[in-house]
Structures are given as structure tokens and as C-alpha cells.
A and B are shown apart, each in its own frame.
Chain A
Amino acid sequence: MFDSPDLILDYLVSASFLHAAGMTLMITLVSMAWGMLIGLLIALGQEWNRPGLNVLIVAYLWLFRGTPVLFQIIFIFNVLPAMGILFSGFTSAVLALALNEAAYIAEIFRSGIEAVGKGQRTAGRSLGMKNWQVMRHIVLPQALRTVIPPIGNQFLGMLKLSALVSVIGVEDLLLTANQTASANFRYFEALTAAGVFYLAMTTLFMFGQSWLERKVNPRRGNAGATKGKSLTQRLLGMTANTGA
């Protein structure tokens, strides 16, 4: 079953796998970008607290968190054309993933916003700031710090979720690996190559998250706390000071 390890290397540098990995990465990044934007707007909408809007938002969260993503992908790709709305596979995939993601990100942002003490807002208002200024300059910057770890989770989740789009024929990493293998029955090699790509990308995301956490936390080198430590330092069990 495993008589040509070179084949894995061939796959890793082959145009079709690289292209597929790029497609997976692209779907992940575009879906997350839209998901975060829409999620932020939903969270802010909830903060705004207008009865009519609240009903719409709750309905949205209920719908997208209450049905499988796979269902949403297939629905957008197969049902909407019947209503005259025709999207490419890529667009359908990103649309479904982004709308679904937004529902989860909205809750993450909401918890981050609510974690900022009420007194902080009062202090901002007492300085004569308008509500949006308080949100922009005081609440969101502090909320950002608390939401980075869960958002990082969502990035990793999205990378893996993106494999679902293979069901509507988008040439992502999983579909490419599967098709390649079905041509010569070298499943082990093809899937290993895909797995290496997935792991490489998730590793990249984890380092990105760690870098971002340190960037928004202005103080570095606070001994004892996990904040201020890079991922390598955390992995190697070092304190920030010895690692510096």
C-alpha cells in the first residue's frame, strides 16, 4: 500500500495540489473576512437594541446556527438557482460559509463587548464622547483582546469546514486529493499530501493568532502570565522573560 513515498512529495509540489491548497486557503480567508464583518455588524446591532432589529437578528442566529452548514451550502448552490439566483460554486461556498460563520462570530463579539465593564463606557460618556465614539475607541479595542482566542478557533474550524465545499464540486484540497487517488487508488499518498497542507495552514494560523495576541497586548514580558508569550515560548514552557 505504501511503496512510493516519493509520490507524496510529488503531490506536495504538484500544480493541482498547490492550486487546491490555495483554493482552500482562499475560501477560508474570504469566508472568515465576510463572517467577521457581518458578525461584527450583528453584534453592534444587538448593542443598538432596537426591538425590530433584535427580532431579525435572533431569527438570523436561529436559522444559521440551527441548520447544518452542509445543508446551507447545498441549499444555496442547488435551490437558489431555481429562484433565478445563480452563483458559481466558489461564490455559493463562500456565501454559505460566511453567513454561517457570521452567526457564531456575532456571539463571540457580543460576549467580548459585554465583558468590557459598564464603568468604562460611563467614563467615556462622561468625557463627552458620543456613543459610537465610546464603542470605537474604548469598548471595541478592549473587546478585541478577549475575542482573539475564540476567533482563532473559528479560523481553524473554518479551514476544516471548507472541505465540505467539495460536495458542490469546488476544487478544494479534499476534492483534489480524492479525485487524484481515485485515478490510481493511491489513497494513502494523496490524503497524506492533503493532510500535510491542512496542518501547514493550521500551524500558520496558530502562529498568526499568537502574534496578534501579543500585538494587541501592549505590554510584553509580564512574568508569570501567559500574555506576552509567543507560541514557541508557550510550547517550550518558557516564561516571556527567559525567552526574550
Chain B
Amino acid sequence: MTHAATAPATTVPPGSAKASAPLLYQVRSLYKSFGTFQALKSIDLTVPTGSTTVLIGPSGSGKSTLLRCLNLLEPINEGSILFNNQEIGTVVRDAYRIRRQVAMVFQNFELFQHLSAVENIMLAPMKVKGVPRLEAHDRALALLEKVRIPDKADSYPDELSGGQQQRVAIARALAMDPMAMLYDEPTSALDPEMIREVLDVMTELSQGGMTSICVTHELAFARRAADQIVFMEQGEVVEARPTEQFFSGTGSPRTRAFLDQILH
């Protein structure tokens, strides 16, 4: 069994601008277990600044857990996570400081139900960064413009469609000016006709140079936006390759079996 990902070098195509970009994330030999269950085994992953990484794999393969480890929502058991050249794998007490620099988007949106769209976006900048209310409000409106729902500023989450909620959630994440966006199956809870509007926003961000790591089953999005694709199974990285190579059909048998399964 070959582990393509054990090579520490980035899998982004050589010669591209992103290949020479500094690494935002450098994960080495990461282990994570829940009780006796080994969720992640010896994970290696490199993410250049400004690149987009898509994590795919069957459910239960550890994709979401890896994502949660990357912003310290889950403490890791072993290994190292270099974020922006700083070791964060051992950070426990000050984890919130790291989380301020990385934003996350969830499968179930998790908008704060008691706040309107614009208030959802304003909350963290005001309470975490101390941004004045008016400034936070202006910024929030601009972000709603960016995700193309400026007219929903005063709507509450239960008045919005799933696609609109997820776009508000993306705006909320962007409001913290993160160095990276982590997406945890952002379109899995959406009706098919709403997936597009969310993916469009994500693609735009990604192409605008936002470092993105996305757990998704949307292969079309992966093809369009990703620089590298990481295939995981049973808590391991089976392979991590540049997008074009990944889809060229030359990958490991396990990858090809998985792709066959979800493409047909």
C-alpha cells in the first residue's frame, strides 16, 4: 500500500505560483482518537497559502475530524500542526486565539437563531475584536453584498432558505478576516437547487486567493476550485494529489473505486 501523502512536499503543481507560496498549514503525523477509536492515523498534509484543498472520502473516514483539529475544536493526541509557522498542536488554553484566525462553515449552518443575519455577522467582530457597532454593521452589509443577499440583512435564520443561511454563515466567517476558511460539508444539508448558489460564493472566494479547506462530496466543485484533492479512508490519507492528476484515473485503486462509486 503506497502513501502518496507521506511526501512532505506540497502536491500543488510545480511551477504554479501557489507551489512556491508559503505553507499556511503543515500537518505531520497527526493522530486523534476518541476513546479506543482511532479517528485519525498518521495524517500528513500541507496547505500552501492561497490554495484550495478538497477533502473527500467515505463517511466516517475522518475528514470532518481533521478539519476540526485544524482549528483546535478537537485537541490532537499526537503529531504536529504548523499554522503560519507556529506550532498549534500543543495549544490548549489559548486555542481561541488560533480560532480567531481561521473561520469555519458548518453543514447545518449554525446561524445564531436569536440574531438577524446582519447581527450574526456583527457579533464576533464586536465581541472578539472590539470593532465598534457602526463599523461592524457597515462591514456586515458589505459582506452580505458579497454573498449576494444584501436584502436579507434583517431577516432571522428561520426566515431564510438553506442556501441563504449558508451564505450568511460564510459572510459571518469572513467578517473575522480569517487566514483560512474551513468548510465542513457546506452543501450536504441543502436542496439541489440551492447548492449552486453556495458553491458559486465558495469558488469566488477560492479564486480570489482565500486559503480554503473543504470537506465535500461535490466533485464538480473540486474540479473547478481545488488545487489539491486529499482522499481519506478509515482515518488515513490515502492520497493527496493535484486536482488534475487526481481525476486523471491514475490514482490508487482505493481512490478509483471510490470515484467510480460516486460518479456512477
Contacts and interface: CB of A to CB of B under 8 A. Distances in A.
Chains A and B belong together in one complex? yes
A124 B115 CA distance: 13
Contact of B128 (A129, A142, A218): A129
How big is the A interface, by class?
20 to 34
Interface string B21-35: 000000000000000
Contact of A128 (B112, B114, B128, B156): B128
Contact of B103 (A120, A127, A145): A127
B113 A142 contact: yes
Contacts of B110: 117, 119-120, 122-123
A137 B114 CA distance: 10
Contact of A138 (B71, B112, B172): B112
Nearest to B169: A123
B7 interface: no
B174 to A, nearest CB: 11
A133 interface: yes
Give the 5 A-B CB pairs with smallest separation, nearest first: A128-B100, A123-B110, A127-B124, A126-B104, A128-B99
A157 interface: no
B114 A145 contact: yes
Contacts, number: 64
Interface string B88-115: 0000000011011111101010111110
Interface residues of B, number: 27
Contacts of B159: 219
Contacts of B113: 120, 142
Interface string A222-235: 00000000000000
A202 to B, nearest CB: 29
A160 interface: no
B224 interface: no
Interface of B: 71, 73, 96-97, 99-104, 106, 108, 110-114, 116, 123-124, 127-128, 156, 159, 172-173, 176
Nearest to B72: A125
Contacts of A123: 104, 106, 110-112
Given A123-B106, A127-B99, A128-B101, 17 more contacts: A119-B106, A119-B108, A120-B112, A122-B106, A125-B96, A125-B99, A126-B71, A126-B102, A126-B106, A127-B123, A127-B124, A133-B127, A137-B123, A137-B127, A138-B112, A138-B123, A219-B159
Interface of A: 117, 119-120, 122-130, 133, 137-138, 141-142, 145, 218-219
Given A119-B106, A122-B106, A219-B156, A129 B114 contact: no
A137 B122 CA distance: 12
A69 B30 CA distance: 56
Nearest to A120: B110
Contact of A130 (B96, B101, B108, B116): B96
Contacts of B128: 127-129, 133
A117 B96 CA distance: 20
Contact of A218 (B97, B104, B116, B173): B116
A127 B100 CA distance: 6
